[in-house]
Structure 1
Amino acid sequence: MVILFRSFRSVRCAVTFAILFFLGGCTIGILKLSGYDDSKDGNILGHKAAKDDGKGQGLLMQLLKDHINKEPMHAMDNMTNNGMQFLKNIKGKINKTVAAANKFKAKYKVGKKSAAPVSTKAKGDLPNYNVHVFYYPWYGNPEHDGKYLHWNHEQLPHWNTEVAKKWPQGQYVPPDDIGSNFYPELGCYSSRDPVVIDNHMQQLREAGVGVVVYSWYPPGKSDEQGYPSDDIVPQLLDTAHKYQLKVAFHSEPYKERTEQTFIQDVKYLINTYGSHPAFYRRPHKGSELPLIYIYDSYLIKAKNWAKVMRGNNSIRRSRFDAIFIGLLVEQKDKQEISRAGFDGFYTYFASNAFTYGSKWQNWKVLAKNAYADGLMFIPSVGPGYIDVKIRPWNGANTRTRNKGRYYSLAFESAIQTEPHIISITSFNEWHEGTQIERAVPKRSGNFTYEDYTPYESDYYLRLTRQYTDTFQRTGKIWSAG
């Protein structure tokens, strides 16, 4: 009888554990479908499963262990004599854990360590045209440009000559030694290479960004480190159109820029590129108008801007009218932007609190004041900031990426202000470490480049996609008038 009882009890245990492992398999499937998020801190078991056991294989055993630890005298009796009730209790805990994990994911929306790139063809949807990204076409290499451009950026001296003596000065030697703390997956590419442009537009399309904001100088002009790049615009427009993207322009400052030369620049852009289907326009005061960002707009006095932005002799209500967005750096710039006659302002800098405008905590006040005056508010978010390869003395403004958390906080701060547009600094400003373009691990001599570890090279594109989708659902389509 004793032997029979033991055999019967053994069979019950075997059946019970078989059911448990079956339930464990179901749990794994549930966890996969629920999409655990593994990149935030949390105090729930669901986060532990997501963080340490992304496939959920250890979740059931953790629940069993917790149950036995809490009820050591009765755990095995429950498993054998009342197995089904025990399973019911475990199932309830699993359901609560999955629900907690889903709640965690919904709150933070941060990507997993690895995933296939977003297939835009499969989704068949349009990108978010209220998300803009600053794009830099100033890179060159010997194959396409005769020499390296920008990858060999010099180390800039501090403006104080005494301070400048304390820091190294020189120029980088590509392709292994470049003026950036990160290294691009595409290597030292040329911005005029059609293959590179296509790759870039595809990356942005996967990220859900709708508008490429092209860093632009008039024909024949450029920054000190590069070549004129207006001739790249036709190729960029064609490729952007292929991926259903739009192109806006970021007017860069040049030595002779005045309010009058700026108006000539606007006329050139509209006359030359305005008829292209990828040329960005948006509803504004009853019209479809181009949008132009004006970097360092404060270098021209508000009263001078007002001559071309206000009154009967201004550019307004002409075929060259546009949505003009000035740069807000200091708090006082808000009044100057209004006086100048701009349609709104952006904050550009990706280093939180580097300027008044770039400080996330100031965005709600800036947005409130802008909306009260009928102005557009365009906060600029970035994944981090580090420029010590070209400004070795500027370490105080470094902002670490913190595995994507910095970028998430910036995006969340921006979305909370209900802005008209969110701009991203940047797609490929490698010198300042603000890029979301794919980067890879690399070592050159004694220097190790930063990368997106523990995530893959497309991590910031996927993280951008999550927030562009969120903003698409929660943001407002804005039209003044």
Structure 2
Amino acid sequence: MKKKMISLAAVLCLMAAPLYSSFDQPQESHCYRTLLVITSESDWTIVRLLEGHILTATYDIVEGNTVPECECWCDPHLNLIGMTKKQFDTSLVKIEVKIILYLKEDLNIVFEIQKGDIKYTTLDIYNYNGKEPVFLETVNNDANIPGDPENTMEFTVDINKLTAKGPLQYLVSSVPKLVWAFYYPWYHKQQWHTSKALIDTPLVGAHDSSDPDVIELHIKQAKSAGIDGFIVSWWGKNDYADQNLKTILYIADKLDFKITIYLESLQNGPRSEEDLKKMFLSFYESYGEDQRYYRINGNPVIFVWAVESHPPSSWEDILSAVEDEGYTGVYIAMAGQPDYLEIFDGLHLYGTVGVSDLSAVYERLSTSCSTYGYFNDEPSYIWAATVCPGYDDRKIPGREGLYQPRDDGEYYLETFEAAVNSSPDWLLVTSFNEWWENTHIEPSMNYGFTYLNLTAQVCSAFKELDSLAPLLTAHTLFGEALDLLSANSFELAKTKFESAKEIYDKIGYSEKSLKARHYIEKCTEEIEKQQSQKEQELQTPESERGEHEADTSLLLLLVSLLITSWIRKQNP
């Protein structure tokens, strides 16, 4: 830790807002660090940036911590820092605010200071692009303007002064480039027959999530598409999903597949802080020393759902209490607000549906993760961008009917483009098998292997590897084998068909496997025909072969004589 089932539609409502709709990062924008020191004896004050964008910010109250009813806040969405006290309280409050700014080089920076009718607010501005802050200027607002209860004062700061020694270099993460898929081990066989909310079902058929054969097939299918691991939905100790997690870890270990959990922080609403502490502790008691679980620098990685259901201060209390018990993890928060990086080690979003301008959202969160370390001398934080094939919860009772059509894979590829353009450390797939919300890529009755095939393309493109995902390798082998078959290279064609079929068989791709078997049989027939012809030639008596060779020689001699005679007649 650093310093320190509600619907998807409902969570998206929490996250909607200026962060998503108002921020548009232009190509010429850069990141710069600034220090603002706000000193005030007024009973309230606000400092707002009118040009440019506050990407992230942290603050410390260096004087006035004990002033009654004093509250300070920083809201990057609204580009402001604020302070309030009891009315007419003139106690001095001093705040140091570190800010990462997005700035356009052709714009000067406009600030405004607002305050109450009493006393003053002073703002000291520093360039902080280097190791130490460099003082630029002081602005004082002690006005009491008739008719203006906010006593607004605007002023401009030379952008060249703020951008000197900048821009900041992005901090590069050292984690390996991985693809994860959200995985749900909560299904019982009878649900596939009785649930009215299901509009698609898996090709593997009705099954229990506890079935080891199904778990093994799922992992093999995921691996064939280039997915490195599952983020397993986890609801606490001794839950059905927890029982299945033990089986998943056992099988994944045999197949060299990574496993982490998605700690479900909501259950019919936000869990209490105490419940969350117990949940973390029970996880560590069960899996803290389990080396089959995915780790970074020895610490287990835990994705945490819907952290915005609690403020950062609550999560700091929760994770500090866990750390006090001797447990340290790497925590990846589902949050659209970068201030959670004060507590967590990285950010992700679960859903893409309903997010306005996904590319801009991802770019802002990515840049937040790669610059937040300038506040605390930490290395880069992890940014995990999500791709999703579509969404449909219209048949789930109590849901709002959120719907995003798949558009024959176009939406999936659109989310991938937004994700990959944000330079993520990890790519997340929502989801492998969330059938209620219809975000699944698992082979299904409606879509067959379409989305597993698309995932293989997405994973190969993201990782930029010389070798393709196994499923793409199988398709490539199959295509090459068809070309060899057309060229009558039956032995080579058969070998490639067999290699492709082996991959298809492992993941239950029966359609392709049957085609490969058909061509293998055809190649075998042609090979047997060739062998039969050779055997017949070898079995022909030598005397017959000699007579045949003599007849052939005589025929060639006669043809030669005829040609010679014709040439002489043409040239007397």
Please give the residue correspondences for 1:389-404 in structure 2 after superposition, counting only pairs within 5 Å: 389-390=395-396, 394-395=400-401, 397-404=402-409
Question: Amino acid of the residue matched to residue 323 of structure 2?
Answer: I
Deviation at 1:314? 6.3
Q: Which of 394, 401, 407 is the matching residue for 1:388?
A: 394
Greater relative contact order (CA < 8 Å, ≥ 6 in sequence): 1
Q: 2:407 & 2:344 partners in 1: Cα distance? A: 36
Please give the residue correspondences for 1:303-314 in structure 2 after superposition, counting only pairs within 5 Å: 303-309=313-319
Q: 1:319 & 1:199 partners in 2: Cα distance? A: 37
Task: Give 1:345's aligned residue.
Answer: 347
Cα distance change of structure 1 residues 460 and 319 upon mapping to structure 2, 3 Å threshold: farther
Q: 1:129 & 1:140 partners in 2: Cα distance? A: 34
Q: 2:238 & 2:251 partners in 1: Cα distance? A: 23
Task: Give 1:370's aligned residue.
Answer: 369
Query: Does structure 1 retain, via aligned residues, the 8 Å contact 2:434–2:440?
Result: yes
Deviation at 1:219? 2.3
Task: Give 1:140's aligned residue.
Answer: 188
Deviation at 1:390? 1.3
Query: Does structure 2 retain, via aligned residues, the 8 Å contact 1:350–1:434?
Result: no
Q: 1:289 & 1:325 partners in 2: Cα distance? A: 13
Query: Does structure 2 retain, via aligned residues, the 8 Å contact 1:237–1:279?
Result: yes
CA-to-aligned-CA distance 1:133-152 (integer Å, 9 cap, x gap): 110111102xxxxxx34x4x
Q: 1:473 & 1:409 partners in 2: Cα distance? A: 18
Task: Give 1:26's aligned residue.
Answer: none
Q: 1:407 & 1:366 partners in 2: Cα distance? A: 20
Deviation at 1:245? 0.7
Question: Are 1:187 and 2:205 an aligned pair?
Answer: yes
Q: 1:345 & 1:180 partners in 2: Cα distance? A: 31
Task: Give 1:247's aligned residue.
Answer: 259
TM-score, with structure 2 as normaliser: 0.46
Give the length in aligned residue pairs: 282
Q: 1:473 & 1:425 partners in 2: Cα distance? A: 21
Question: Are 1:301 and 2:311 an aligned pair?
Answer: yes
Cα distance change of structure 1 residues 178 and 278 upon mapping to structure 2, 3 Å threshold: farther
Two-structure CA RMSD over aligned residues (Å): 2.6
Q: 1:405 & 1:414 partners in 2: Cα distance? A: 14
Question: Mind listing any 5+ residue stretches in structure 2 that lack a counterpart?
Answer: 1-175, 374-380, 466-572
Deviation at 1:248? 0.4
Query: Does structure 2 retain, via aligned residues, the 8 Å contact 1:291–1:325?
Result: yes
Question: Amino acid of the residue matched to residue 233 of structure 1?
Answer: L
Q: Which of 205, 214, 222 is the matching residue for 2:223?
A: 205
Question: Are 1:323 and 2:330 an aligned pair?
Answer: yes
Question: Are 1:270 and 2:284 an aligned pair?
Answer: yes
Task: Give 1:361's aligned residue.
Answer: 360
Question: Amino acid of the residue matched to residue 384 of structure 1?
Answer: G
Q: 2:399 & 2:259 partners in 1: Cα distance? A: 35
Task: Give 2:338's aligned residue.
Answer: 334
Deviation at 1:178? 4.1
Q: Which of 381, 406, 415 is the matching residue for 1:410?
A: 415
Query: Does structure 1 retain, via aligned residues, the 8 Å contact 2:385–2:419?
Result: yes
SS at match of 2:391: coil
Please give the residue correspondences for 1:158-197 in structure 2 after superposition, counting only pairs within 5 Å: 174=193, 178-197=196-215
SS at match of 1:403: helix
Question: Are 1:131 and 2:179 an aligned pair?
Answer: yes
Q: 1:349 & 1:387 partners in 2: Cα distance? A: 13
Question: Amino acid of the residue matched to residue 194 of structure 1?
Answer: P
Q: 2:327 & 2:454 partners in 1: Cα distance? A: 37
Q: 1:360 & 1:182 partners in 2: Cα distance? A: 29
Deviation at 1:392? 8.4
SS at match of 2:200: coil
Deviation at 1:263? 3.6
Q: Which of 378, 403, 424 is the matching residue for 1:419?
A: 424
Query: Does structure 1 retain, via aligned residues, the 8 Å contact 2:184–2:434?
Result: yes
Q: 1:289 & 1:469 partners in 2: Cα distance? A: 28
Percentage of identical aligned residues: 27
Question: Are 1:232 and 2:248 an aligned pair?
Answer: no
Task: Give 1:124's aligned residue.
Answer: none
Cα distance change of structure 1 residues 129 and 419 upon mapping to structure 2, 3 Å threshold: closer
Cα distance change of structure 1 residues 303 and 462 upon mapping to structure 2, 3 Å threshold: same
CA-to-aligned-CA distance 1:315-367 (integer Å, 9 cap, x gap): 18x752111122225xxx332x134x11121110141xx246x8333211221
Question: Mind listing any 5+ residue stretches in structure 1 that lack a counterpart?
Answer: 1-127, 142-147, 152-173, 222-227, 441-450, 475-481
SS at match of 1:229: helix
Task: Give 1:291's aligned residue.
Answer: 301
Instruction: Give the number of the structure whose alpha-carbon radius of gyration is greater.
Output: 2
Cα distance change of structure 1 residues 129 and 418 upon mapping to structure 2, 3 Å threshold: closer
Task: Give 1:17's aligned residue.
Answer: none
Cα distance change of structure 1 residues 307 and 392 upon mapping to structure 2, 3 Å threshold: closer
